[in-house]
Structure 1
């Protein structure tokens, strides 16, 4: 398996999926929105995009399984070689016409992500990385922020839309960070947030209640861009553990700040 050859084909799939999403956005009918759960929406665009992606990736690497958001096809073993797919990250943005959503594709063996692509459908920016090969925005190599001072950092996060039992801790974290940083942003697509950390636009990102398909491609981007990725305890149980902190030089201070409230 040659990752340099494989990433070329995966980028083509991401772009094809993005073009389908963009075309559908021009005629999308909000009456077709479905609810998977409270505040958790899905559309036929998510489902059809996922089917397209699964079809294309199956042809590229037939031996790989799938971990997908919409359950088009599902692997029984997360430790095997798997494609990890979010066909439309930022569905709520898409439904409301807010131009910030993406396609996120990754290939992983267990928790080890081998390649990742985040395609910003609205800007047509392609963020991509292979393990050991660096991270790129289109054709330009990228790196995480060099900001070292927490007070000068701009952070990104995502608001929980289910499992609200940790909300009190999360609000305390937000309250503290609002007073200690340049600010926080919530764009609505974790994959784009992570890609922007890899580019140095954000100095760090954190969120809980995420799934592997939300972050798989993005965390590889950050690692290959020179950043650090951990769970909320500083360990490596983030991909399937649901809690992630990712950033450049301010990662350690952000981790300490989150642990101060999360472990109380």
Structure 2
């Protein structure tokens, strides 16, 4: 649909239409563009609603798409500054994590610890390394 083919292999990088992609490098912003991915079971859980609203009000734009893989590719190529994952499941979750890591990004849980492996109820932030504290503070303030 987008006429783009993304491929990522652990330790070998990510490509888009066979061209190397590494856009998750230093890129300043005054207001972030954030993707939101939540699990089907979350629905209108009050904690999620509160955090989602906080992010929506305090960012330039928050995207909630029905195609999480599209959001992962947007982050990998630099069209988003972060993705906030709130208890999401799905087959595309771990391929998205791989894409972001291979593009030079960081995946941390809401406490700032590296997110790795598989988790039955994942809550994490995917972003550029230098923006980790910014997004951790956003989560902290949004859940307060």
Secondary structure of the structure 1 residue equivalent to 2:28? coil
TM-score with structure 1 setting the length = 0.47
Within a 5 Å distance, the mapping from 1:61-80 to structure 2 comes to none
Unaligned runs of 5+ in 2: none
1:152 aligns with 2:31: yes
CA distance in 2, matches of 1:152, 1:145: 17
**1:195-230 per-position Cα deviation (integer Å, ceiling 9, x unaligned):** 210110111111222226231111111111111112
Larger RCO (CA under 8 A, 6+ residues apart)? 2
Larger radius of gyration: 1
Q: Is contact 1:229–1:244 with CA below 8 Å preserved after alignment?
A: yes
Q: Is contact 1:219–1:229 with CA below 8 Å preserved after alignment?
A: yes
Larger helix proportion of the pair = 1
Q: Is contact 1:147–1:153 with CA below 8 Å preserved after alignment?
A: no
CA distance in 2, matches of 1:238, 1:130: 16
Within a 5 Å distance, the mapping from 1:141-220 to structure 2 comes to 141-142=20-21, 143-144=23-24, 146-149=26-29, 151-164=30-43, 167-211=45-89, 213-220=91-98
Distance change in 2, residues 1:154/1:238 (3 Å): farther
Distance change in 2, residues 1:195/1:183 (3 Å): same
Picking from 78, 92, 104, the partner of 1:226 is 104
**1:152-179 per-position Cα deviation (integer Å, ceiling 9, x unaligned):** 32111135432447x2222222232233
Match in the other structure for 1:243: 123
Aligned Cα RMSD in Å?
2.3
**1:91-122 per-position Cα deviation (integer Å, ceiling 9, x unaligned):** xxxxxxxxxxxxxxxxxxxxxxxxxxxxxxx2
Tell me whether 182-191 or 245-254 shows the greater mean CA deviation. 245-254
Secondary structure of the structure 2 residue equivalent to 1:158? strand
C-alpha displacement of 1:256: 2.0
CA distance in 2, matches of 1:195, 1:216: 13
Deviant stretches of 4+, over 4 Å: none
The number of residue pairs the alignment matches comes to 140
Distance change in 2, residues 1:152/1:146 (3 Å): farther
TM-score with structure 2 setting the length = 0.81
Unaligned runs of 5+ in 1: 1-121
Picking from 110, 135, 139, the partner of 1:258 is 139
**1:2-28 per-position Cα deviation (integer Å, ceiling 9, x unaligned):** xxxxxxxxxxxxxxxxxxxxxxxxxxx
C-alpha displacement of 1:261: 3.9
CA distance in 2, matches of 1:163, 1:187: 15
